[in-house]
Amino acid sequence: MKPYPVQVILLNKTGEVLEFLSETSTDGCFGDVSQESMLGAPIWKAISLTSIAERIRQACEKCVHERKPATVSFHLDGDGGGTKWYEFHFSKCNDDRFLLVIRDLTQQKREELKKKEFEDKVQQSQKLESIGVLASGIAHDFNNLLLSIIGNTELAIEELEENSPIREEIEEIGEAAKKASDLTRQMLAYSGRGKFYSSRLNMNETLVAMVDLLNASISKRIQIEFELAEDLPTFHGDASQIQQVIMNLVSNASEAIGEDSGSIWVRSGVAAAPLCDSPQDFRPDKTDGAEMIYLEVADSGCGMTQQTLEKIFDPFFTTKFFGRGLGMSAVQGILRAHEGVMNIETEIGSGTRIRVFFPKANSEDTTTMNDGSHRREPKPPNKVLVIDDEPSVLRLVSKILKSKGIPHEIVESGEAGVEIVRAQPDTFDLALVDMTMPGITGRTAIEELRKIQPGLRAILSSGFSEEEIVDSSEGGKIDAYIQKPYRPSQLLDCIRETLERKS
């Protein structure tokens, strides 16, 4: 940091300027008042702002009467030059004369503000990361419970007659569990682990497909206008997650307008990634300056205060009523998972504009999900080894495999799985292994199993995203991945496809 400018002025005991003792000038605090015109006049007369001039007068008189140093600090808003900070320090020179040392603290203050802004960003990032880890852990455990509920309800429905009096109740249990599964997806999205099934998307096509849904979700007093760029490049993303981002942004815009008449503008285009000027903006370093696809949602609503802006990414934060969901925190998590960018501009009384950016696609590769709707029965392998630390999951998978006549063994830890394969080498064709377990992880267990039986096929199971699991370098290579909670038909399909791909 460069030394700050210092000016020394000699005053008499009435505060009048006798002489300028230093060549360095801090005349910015005196505006257009020249040094010549200041000579013989009280120093505070050169300050145009009355309240600050009064504080300077009181500090000067205190130094004169009490014979002790006195200091006053203040800031001035310059014309086009931003805010400037100054410090006036009065001290005794002799009985009739006093020294005034003026320090220009502008550069120092700006550096301090930048440091505080950076520390605020770090603190916000750490807070969100901590909550994200918590959300991810809860989602993982919750997925195990949902897997048991969804799986057992489907198995029970298969055993029931069409006119069974309890069929409807069991189907409702299954539907409720599926809705709960959507909540865990939001939690994973918030933690940045929610990018599940990536495919090549066109933002305009996604928006057009949602027009009716968006119109139905906002007040009839609000008009929604679409301004979509032509020939928009595609990007890679999870369609359901992108739809969630769009819905959340439009819903927030509608709530900002409230019961009044107003407008929401939804725009798309291509632009360079913006700079992040506040903790509310979000941008991975790798996107700096890159051209990206953007979605913009602007509204004519009330705008946000700084206090609201600082809290919008807190889970369940709302200016309306409690219990609204993860909201903007989920949007931020989705952007994090998609290596996206967010920029927010808001002004009280003028509305808010939010832009979210996604990297342009570089290849024609797509990844789609198999929902188990077109299923063929798996060819029975010699034997399946199931490794999971959750007893309810083991019981469910055992029921599914038993219903199709697939021989299997179940164990509750990676170490137990390794021991059973060591005791019975070449007995198993396939291992279904949970990723997160006490002791050795699922990836490490697969690596140890293949040291004993190199040809063993392996399916890894977890509540986290497939991309995160596949990209992980830890442990042994996997042949397939299935995300919890899965349906019985999805598990059977995954087993069949893994066996057929290797046979």
User: Residue 10's domain is classified under what CATH number?
Assistant: 3.30.450.20
Q: Would 220 be classed as within a structural domain?
A: yes
Tokens of residue 34, six digits: 């020249």
Which CATH number does the domain housing residue 244 bear? 3.30.565.10
- Same domain? For 21 and 60 the reply is yes
Q: Which has the closest alpha carbon to 433: 392, 393, 404?
A: 393
- Same domain? For 99 and 126 the reply is no
- Same domain? For 287 and 217 the reply is yes
- Same domain? For 69 and 133 the reply is no
Q: Are residues 442 and 418 in contact, defined by beta-carbon separation less than 8 angstroms? A: no
pLDDT digits (tens, 9 = 90+) for 138-197: 776 777 788 888 888 888 888 888 888 888 888 888 888 877 777 676 666 655 554 455
Residue 228: pLDDT band (50, 70, 90) is very high
Q: Would 449 be classed as within a structural domain?
A: yes
- Same domain? For 274 and 335 the reply is yes
- Same domain? For 203 and 343 the reply is yes
pLDDT digits (tens, 9 = 90+) for 58-95: 999 999 988 899 999 998 886 656 788 999 999 988 87
The boundaries of the domain holding residue 75 are 6-104
- Same domain? For 340 and 398 the reply is no
pLDDT digits (tens, 9 = 90+) for 401-425: 998 889 999 999 999 999 999 998 8
Report DSSP letters for 220-265, one per residue.
TTEEEEEEE-SSPPPEEEEHHHHHHHHHHHHHHHHHHHTTS-EEEE
Axis-axis angle for helices 239-257, 167-190 (nearest 10): 80
Which residue, of 169, 190, 211, is where some domain finishes? 190
Burial of 501 (0-12, 13-18, 19+ CB in 10 A): exposed
- Same domain? For 94 and 121 the reply is no
Q: Would 375 be classed as within a structural domain?
A: no
Which residue, of 326, 359, 392, is where some domain finishes? 359
Which residue, of 48, 80, 104, is where some domain finishes? 104
Tokens of residue 364, six digits: 């024609």
Q: Are residues 17 and 44 in contact, defined by beta-carbon separation less than 8 angstroms? A: no
Residue 241: pLDDT band (50, 70, 90) is confident
Which CATH number does the domain housing residue 186 bear? 1.10.287.130
Which CATH number does the domain housing residue 429 bear? 3.40.50.2300
**What gap in Å lies between CA 379 and CA 497, rounded to an integer?**
9
Give the residue-averaged pLDDT of 330-348. 85
Q: Would 1 be classed as within a structural domain?
A: no
Q: Would 420 be classed as within a structural domain?
A: yes
Q: Would 266 be classed as within a structural domain?
A: yes
Residue 447: pLDDT band (50, 70, 90) is very high
- Same domain? For 64 and 123 the reply is no
Q: What does each C-alpha distance from 378 to 114, 385, 495, 501, 502 come to in angstroms?
A: 61, 16, 7, 12, 13
- Same domain? For 221 and 352 the reply is yes
Q: Would 374 be classed as within a structural domain?
A: no
pLDDT digits (tens, 9 = 90+) for 208-223: 988 988 888 888 889 9
Report DSSP letters for 72-135, one per residue.
EEEEEEETTTEEEEEEEEEEE-SSSEEEEEEEE-HHHHHHHHHHHHHHHHHHHHHHHHHHHHHH
In degrees rounded to 5, what are phi and psi of residue 460?
A: -100, 140
Q: Would 376 be classed as within a structural domain?
A: no
- Same domain? For 93 and 145 the reply is no
Give the residue-averaged pLDDT of 251-255. 88
- Same domain? For 430 and 488 the reply is yes
What's the CA dihedral at 325, 326, 328, 330 to 10 degrees?
A: -140
